[in-house]
Amino acid sequence: MNKLLLTVVAALLMSAATAYAQSTGSSDVGAVELDLLVTILTGNIGLFLGLAVTIMGIIIFVKGDTGGAVFTVILGVLITMAPGVYNGLRFIACPIAEALGGQCGK
């Protein structure tokens, strides 16, 4: 069940990335992919995906597989934390990158 869920999530993300890359007309190499990555990491997708994985871990625990349930719940919590961690790191790294003459994106 876990492999099927991860495969479906990966397929949905890849199809969304492909559709998004074809719909915008940016001329910078990699700009579309960077914008998509920032949108995924700062938006609510990670939150909802993490909550779904955590709930799936609780269901696995109820069925009796303690080891798999603990791993799945920890994975769900890490996915849920990803947007906050990314925003925090970006808040720290952007001023440094701009001071060195780089750009920080959005």
- Can you give the pLDDT at residue 50? 82
How far CA 89 is from CA of 84, 93, 94, 95, 96, in Å, comes to: 9, 6, 8, 11, 11
One DSSP character per residue, 31-93 reads HHHHHHHHHHHHSSHHHHHHHHHHHHHHHHHHHT-HHHHHHHHHHHHHHHHHHHHHHHHHHHH
Given a cut of 60, whether residue 62 has pLDDT beyond it is yes
More confident residue, 71 or 35: 71
Task: With cut-offs at 50, 70 and 90, classify the pLDDT of residue 79.
Answer: confident
The C-alpha atoms of residue 26 and residue 14 are separated, in whole angstroms, by 19
Mean pLDDT within 42-47: 74
Given a cut of 70, whether residue 18 has pLDDT beyond it is no
Q: Which tens digits make up the pLDDT trace of 20-41? A: 555 555 556 666 777 777 777 6
Mean pLDDT within 64-72: 86
Give pairs for 71-79: CB < 8 Å, separation 24+.
72/2, 76/50, 76/51, 76/52, 77/50, 78/50, 79/46, 79/49, 79/50, 79/53
